[in-house]
């Protein structure tokens, strides 16, 4: 039986690849896609998403909702520019047109509409900030009853995060830091949450060996697309920086399809919203319960990406 999924993403390379992979999953019924201009610029990220659906969606009829959420703390410009490169890939532009339409509603209202019209609970996959979910919950609290669970790539419980900005204390993860109040709103709900945090992905970095495995199978259009997309971002070579790429969003997406890839544990957690620690998620005995992914089967994970990539035509 297929699982109804609504996907909210913020237009980074791994977000676009997550959308591509979702479209290859037999057990996923993708009912909606929202795009935020967070780790991207909105227009190229949304256009690239529509083109991915056209090129690799096997004829699925979808529309892409554009978010009107605005950052409390914007992502670095250099990272956001990848969306323009992704949107310019020849394989996404070969047809010369975009058929998948822009949704008539903004992403938060589109989420509300899709949830309220569903005849069964919907799994939410969020690989960017939680702003649109927080906005939707404020506008229509009853959508909570329509949500099976939230799979979120965000947060960290390490002492150091991946934010290196002058207006923070360095403990935050970017998706939480972008809109800390949104995290607080969602954490205050009763929604079941599974978190893929920064530390969840330590076993799945982007490495030269991973790139080479895709290069060897680039005769498959989907693998060629994956390899070309990840060519825009830095790999883990000699040492880790806050720009080093791990497969954060793709792990979250693949874990939705196959939970046996991961190990998880129950934690109680909260989020700070006061400067300079706003956006920091932390363990809290009085906090909300969540499932935290703490390990992943590296080989099975990358095998799954390869298998799904080869299904694309």
Instruction: Determine the Cα–Cα distance for residues 174 and 100; give it in Å rounded to an integer.
Output: 29
| Number of domains present in the structure of the chain | 1
Average pLDDT in the 19-23 region?
A: 99
Instruction: Determine the Cα–Cα distance for residues 246 and 235; give it in Å rounded to an integer.
Output: 8
pLDDT of residue 243: 55
- For the question of whether the overall pTM of this predicted structure is more than 0.95, the answer is yes
Which range marks the domain in which residue 217 is found? 3-311
CA 20 → CA 92, 164, 249, 250, 287, distances in Å? 12, 30, 12, 10, 35
CA angle 248, 253, 259 (to 5 degrees): 105
What's the CATH code of the domain at 153? Answer: 3.90.245.10
Average pLDDT in the 131-152 region?
A: 99
SS3 102: strand
Average pLDDT in the 132-150 region?
A: 99
SS3 14: helix
CA 24 → CA 19, 65, 293, 311, distances in Å? 9, 20, 23, 7
Which tens digit of pLDDT belongs to each residue from 218-238? 999 999 999 999 999 877 554
Q: What is the mean pLDDT of the chain?
A: 96
CA 269 → CA 194, 229, 289, distances in Å? 12, 34, 6
Tokens of 99: 């058929």
> Is residue 47 classed exposed, middle or buried when 0-12, 13-18 and 19+ CB atoms within 10 A define those classes?
buried
Q: Does the pLDDT value for residue 240 go beyond 70?
A: no
Q: Does the pLDDT value for residue 184 go beyond 70?
A: yes
> Residue 252 pairs with which residues in a beta bridge?
none
Instruction: Determine the Cα–Cα distance for residues 246 and 199; give it in Å rounded to an integer.
Output: 10
SS3 220: coil
The torsion angle over the Cα atoms of residues 290, 295, 297 and 299, rounded to 10 degrees, is: 120
pLDDT of residue 234: 77
SS (H, E, C) 237-254: CCCCCCCCCECHHHHHHH
Average pLDDT in the 53-60 region?
A: 98
Instruction: Determine the Cα–Cα distance for residues 114 and 139; give it in Å rounded to an integer.
Output: 14
Average pLDDT in the 235-251 region?
A: 72
């Amino acid at each position: 039986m297929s699982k109804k999924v609504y996907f909210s993403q913020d237009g980074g390379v791994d977000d676009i690849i997550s959308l591509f992979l979702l479209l290859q999953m037999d057990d996923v019924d993708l009912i909606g896609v929202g795009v935020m201009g967070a780790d991207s610029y909105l227009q190229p990220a949304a256009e690239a998403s529509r083109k991915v659906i056209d090129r690799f969606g096997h004829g699925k009829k979808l529309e892409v909702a554009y978010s009107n959420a605005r950052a409390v703390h914007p992502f670095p410009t250099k990272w956001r520019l990848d969306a323009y490169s992704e949107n310019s890939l020849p394989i996404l532009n070969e047809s010369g047109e975009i058929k998948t339409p822009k949704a008539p509603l903004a992403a938060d209202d589109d989420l509300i509409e899709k949830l309220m019209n569903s005849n069964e609970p919907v799994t939410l996959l969020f690989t960017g900030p939680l702003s649109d979910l927080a906005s939707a919950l404020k506008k229509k609290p009853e959508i909570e009853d329509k949500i099976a669970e939230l799979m979120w790539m965000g947060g960290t419980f390490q002492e150091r995060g991946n934010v290196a900005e002058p207006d923070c204390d360095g403990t935050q993860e970017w998706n939480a830091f972008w809109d800390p109040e949104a995290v607080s709103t969602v954490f205050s709900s009763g929604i079941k949450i599974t978190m893929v945090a920064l530390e969840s992905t330590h076993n799945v970095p982007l490495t030269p060996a991973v790139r080479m495995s895709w290069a060897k199978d680039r005769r498959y259009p989907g693998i060629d697309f994956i390899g070309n997309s990840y060519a825009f971002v830095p790999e883990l070579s000699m040492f880790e920086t806050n720009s080093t790429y791990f497969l954060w969003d793709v792990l979250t997406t693949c874990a939705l399809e196959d939970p046996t890839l991961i190990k998880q544990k129950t934690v109680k957690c909260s989020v700070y919203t006061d400067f300079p620690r706003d956006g920091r998620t932390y363990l809290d005995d009085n906090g909300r319960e969540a499932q935290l992914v703490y390990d992943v089967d590296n080989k099975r994970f990358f095998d799954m990406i390869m298998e799904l990539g080869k299904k694309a035509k």
